[in-house]
Amino acid sequence: MGGQQSTFSQLFTSTYRHIVMLGLDCAGKTTVLYRMKLEQYMNTVPTIGFNCEKVKGHIGKSKGVSFTIWDIGGQDKLRPLWNTYMHHTEGIIFVVDSCDCERFEEAKIELSAE
C-alpha cells in the first residue's frame, strides 16, 4: 500500500500531467470528469469520441498541479482506439460502475487488455 501512495504522490511533483480516463460505456467517466472540474454533479450524455478538460488539483498545502484529462468513450467500437490516447500519458483512471455487477468481468477483461 505504501508503494501505491508514493506513486500517487509523485503525480503532484510536477505542475502538469496528462491523464486518460477509461472504462466501459455508461460507467460514469464523464460524470467523474465534470465532478472533478466543476465540483458539482451534472447530467451527461454518452460520450461518442472523447471529452478533454483541464482540472486543477493539490494535496494539502502544495502549490497544485494541472491535469489534462481525456475522457474516452467506452462503447465496444471505441475500445480498440484507447491505445492511441496513451502516448505521453502519466496516469490512467479506470472507472467502474459499482452498481453494475453484471459487467465486472467485462471491465476486468478490458482493463487487463490495456
40 is catalytic: no
Residues annotated in the binding site, as ranges? Answer: 23-30, 47, 74
Name the catalytic one among 4, 10, 40, 75: 75
Distance CA 108, CA 42 (A): 27
Cβ–Cβ under 8 Å, residues 94 and 22:
yes
**Which residues of the chain form beta strands (DSSP E)?**
16-23, 50-57, 65-72, 91-95
**From the annotation, which residues make up the binding site for Mg(2+)?**
30, 47
Whole-angstrom distance, CA of residue 16 vs CA of residue 62: 14
Interior/surface letters 80-102, b for 16+ CB within 10 angstroms, e for the rest: eebeebeeeeeeebebbbeeeee
Residues catalogued as catalytic: 75
